[in-house]
Amino acid sequence: MLTYAALALGLIAILMAWSATRKNKDLRERIAQVNSRVYNLRREMQETQEQAQTELLKLKFELLKLQGDLQVTGEMKIGEILAIHPQAQQVLAGFHIGGCGSCMVDDSQSLTEAAAVNGRELEPILLALNTLVAQNDNGQVSPEQLKSPNVQLQF
């Protein structure tokens, strides 16, 4: 009789272990699904925030432009400067601040930081960028008006 009781208890234990394993598997699948949803929501939220920041930046610069107060300052981030004018990248590349592998800059760096890291003086860069912004009537400035590269080839 004791043998049957031990056998029944063993069988019950096996069934409980199987049930717990099955529930554990189901919970792991649910956690994986929730993690996937959280990841997708975070990615969507980040994309939405980036779009909102871009739109806010555009509106800010458009307002400053309409007020006539749009000027590039040393505290502005490189990304903000690039958003002001499509040819700002050419000006910065002319000063070897971004545009090539040896003078890469982060869009979140300020212009002052980027100039210092690349060993450039800030004032000529500000002058060139503000000249570009001031001539922003038609959106394009001739290449002659932009800062020419520091390296010139002569043949």
The Cβ of residue 23 has, within 10 Å, a number of other Cβ atoms equal to 10
pLDDT at 87 over 80: yes
Cα-Cα end-to-end distance for the chain: 107
Q: Two tokens at 113?
A: 């930081």
Residue 135's contacts (CB-CB under 8 Å, 6 or more residues apart) are: 141, 145
Distance CA 25, CA 155 (A): 73
Q: What is the pLDDT of residue 13?
A: 95
Judged by average pLDDT, the poorest of 4-8, 69-73, 117-121, 147-151 is 147-151
pLDDT at 79 over 90: no
Mean predicted confidence (pLDDT) in 89-99: 84
Q: Phi and psi at residue 77, in whole multiples of 5°?
A: -75, 150
> What's the chain's average pLDDT?
82
Q: What is the pLDDT of residue 136?
A: 59
Question: Which tens digit of pLDDT belongs to each residue from 117-155?
Answer: 888 889 999 988 888 887 755 445 444 554 444 444 444
pLDDT at 53 over 50: yes
Q: What is the pLDDT of residue 10?
A: 93
Distance CA 55, CA 121 (A): 31
Q: What is the pLDDT of residue 94?
A: 86
Q: What is the pLDDT of residue 43?
A: 96
